[in-house]
């Protein structure tokens, strides 16, 4: 099969999709689409592309049964602009290839992320890495003022060191995690779906979820059938353990749920 052109993808190539206050996601390049997944899955049978209905059925079968290698035949390259603390969450997904702007070679701009007032929250008591309720207006104002004052002082020192001839690789070391960085980020569709499932989870940090939502919208332009299957069988689906499956069988038979304590709470969260 020749190089695959997806019209909807061509329309958005190099278009910036804004995220947060200064960030964006831009599709730089893609390789393949739904038809590439189908072709890859059928290669052992020597069959070409069939009807849309059959292709959709095959892709859903692959997704439902974790036959993942055909999804690895599709690749995406994005240009991302995001705060450093968000970018570091991308680094954890080691299946990606990335190349990031360097403060050793470039003078960094003073663009930093500032959360909106409605996203300034207290620390959650139940989720050690997450947010809880929004703080009151007075405390929110104090936090916002602190962010602004810190930024002004840090960049005053940074620019002063540059003006004094201090090496960029030294002047940069106190720049904040809120500083915006840019990178090229490339990943195959199988691993991209894994990234999206983790980073679209309600427990993921708000800022990375915003980028993940935009990336998912772009992926859907390139691979609409695969994305629909991902939503159906993965993103919006729930896996049950053997013990939880036995509990479901018991409840279907009219018996009381056998799970107790925290195991029961987790089970009920899944059901809801």
- Residue length of the chain: 272
DSSP-derived secondary structure letter, 44: G
Q: Tell me the three state secondary structure of residue 255.
A: coil
* Cβ within 8 Å of residue 127, ≥6 positions away: 203
Evaluate whether 139 touches 147 at the Cβ level (below 8 Å): no
Evaluate whether 78 touches 96 at the Cβ level (below 8 Å): no
Evaluate whether 217 touches 178 at the Cβ level (below 8 Å): no
Active-site position among 94, 199, 209, 231: 199
Of 205, 253, 265, 233, nearest to 68 (Cα)? 233
Count of C-beta atoms within a 10 Å radius of residue 211: 25
Say how far apart CA 107 and CA 251 lie, in whole Å: 63
Q: Tell me the three state secondary structure of residue 69.
A: helix
To the query of whether residue 199 is one of the catalytic residues in this protein, the response is: yes
Catalytic positions, written as ranges: 199
């Amino acid at each position: 099969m020749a190089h695959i052109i997806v019209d909807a993808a061509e329309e958005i190539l190099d278009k910036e999709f804004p995220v947060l206050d200064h960030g964006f996601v831009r599709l730089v390049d893609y390789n393949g689409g739904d038809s590439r997944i189908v072709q890859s899955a059928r290669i052992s049978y020597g069959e070409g592309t069939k009807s849309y209905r059959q292709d959709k059925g095959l892709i859903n079968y692959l997704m439902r049964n974790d036959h993942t290698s055909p999804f690895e035949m599709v690749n995406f390259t994005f240009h991302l602009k995001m705060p450093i603390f968000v970018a570091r969450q991308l680094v954890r997904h080691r299946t990606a290839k990335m190349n990031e702007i360097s403060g050793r070679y470039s003078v960094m701009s003073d663009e930093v992320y500032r959360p909106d007032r409605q996203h300034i929250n207290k620390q959650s008591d139940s989720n050690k890495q997450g947010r809880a309720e929004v703080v009151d207006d007075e405390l929110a104002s104090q936090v916002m003022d602190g962010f602004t004052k810190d930024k002004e002082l840090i960049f005053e020192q940074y620019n002063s060191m540059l003006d004094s001839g201090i090496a960029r690789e030294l002047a940069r070391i106190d720049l904040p995690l809120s500083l915006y960085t840019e990178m090229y980020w490339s990943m195959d569709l199988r691993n991209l779906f894994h990234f999206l499932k983790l980073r679209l989870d309600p427990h993921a940090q708000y800022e990375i979820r915003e980028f993940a939502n935009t990336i998912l919208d772009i992926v859907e332009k390139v691979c609409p059938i695969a994305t629909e299957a991902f939503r159906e069988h993965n993103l919006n689906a729930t896996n049950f353990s053997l013990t939880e499956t036995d509990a479901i069988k018991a409840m279907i038979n009219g018996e009381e749920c056998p799970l107790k304590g925290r195991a029961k709470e987790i089970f009920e969260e899944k059901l809801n």
